[in-house]
Amino acid sequence: MPAASMHVPLVDLKAQYTAIREEIRQAIDAVLDSQSFVLGAHGRALETEVACYCGTPYAVGVASGSDALLLALMAIGLGPGDEVITTPYTFFATAAAVVRLGGVPVFVDIEPMSFNLAVDQVKARITTRTKAIIPVHLYGQCANMAPLLALAQEHGLLVIEDAAQAIGARYLPEPAAPSQDEHAGAWGRAGAMGDLGCLSFYPSKTYGAYGDAGMVLVRDPVLAERLRALRTHGGLGKYRHDLVGVNSRLDEIQAAVLGVKLRYLDEWIAARQRRAARYDRLFQQANLAGAPGDGQPHRAVGLPVIAPRCTHSFYVYAVRVSQRDCLRAYLYEHGVGTDIYYPLPLHLQPCFAALGYHQGEFPEAERAAAESLALPMYPELSEAQQAYVVEQIADFYH
């Protein structure tokens, strides 16, 4: 039985650090001993290791996931008036990077089950000014990439994956044969299927640094070289600048930390998947589980859905609930940490008012913003903690 009272944080980074403390400190000490802090051996090694892990020829380390998006768009030459099709249900940086370069975000609604871009609605939004599509692999699950990549190829468009939340997630382009599993080699990794893939290593991510850090995955060697120049003020040599870039470099301490953590990433993802399955069972046992829009009002909790052809890394375990804000306040009072990803879709953000979108234009994104709630999720989350979370939700509704 769960404890009568318990504290369950949304994320517990201290638990992870305790388990790998000595390895982390040794890696940081190695950087301090070298006194090489920018564009050094640790950063180069990490670029090679992450590129190999994700399945791309090249990876370019940058200062943050937001910069990864910005630099990817700079690398493809996005300019004033160019349109980029993306989702309104994502973190602000996805569309902000487009606007910062004078581009125009063109939003498409989401699928209600996966929270990801509704690919079947993308074609209708393509114009002569469309330059790229940015699918977002939200919460740790890939968007439906096969038809999206085919559509992009048909129209000569570039695809930049926002994989900030989904490193390690997999997508199978074609239905699996009966004997095929995720280790059979046919699966694509998040960030490695399009022309460019953007990763965030923000501390709370499944694969997080101890500060801001990011990376761009890339297949084309010319684009990779361009990215390396853009992240260092547009120059590959000292005091010569062929491009106007920015200062966005992955520092050596963060690279060293991430080098240690990469050894554990698949283990941590598997632990998250087990905890997601445990949540599912607990909600079902409490007679609370349902699916979004299943028409069963007595089922108060819409569980996450793993889309066909996908694995889910569960960076976020997000449920759909009625009376969301009241439930969140109740959970807070009872020691349970939660968050809302995201309470206001991008098309309704005040700074994007000039784009001309209105309430009701993307109903699925708006409904998700009103119903979604992220519950505690991290590899060290105990069975007792999860039982307590579900018990508190059951008490609220019953």
Domains and CATH numbers, the chain: 15-262 (3.40.640.10), 265-397 (3.90.1150.10)
pLDDT digits (tens, 9 = 90+) for 181-228: 443 345 799 999 999 999 999 999 999 999 999 999 999 999 999 999
Residues pairing with 257 in the sheet: none
Average pLDDT over residues 51-73: 98
Range from 12-21, 107-116, 168-177 carrying the lowest mean pLDDT:
168-177
pLDDT the model gives residue 5: 85
pLDDT digits (tens, 9 = 90+) for 281-322: 999 999 999 765 454 555 689 999 999 899 999 999 999 999
| Whether 51 contacts 74, CB under 8 Å | no
CB atoms within 10 A of CB 42: 26
What is residue 76's three-state secondary structure?
Answer: coil
Q: CA angle, corner 207, sides to 72 and 141, nearest 5?
A: 70
pLDDT interval class at 72 (50, 70, 90): very high
Only one residue has tokens 């991008």, namely 346
Spatial distance between the Cα atoms of 329 and 323, rounded to a whole number of angstroms: 10
pLDDT the model gives residue 291: 60
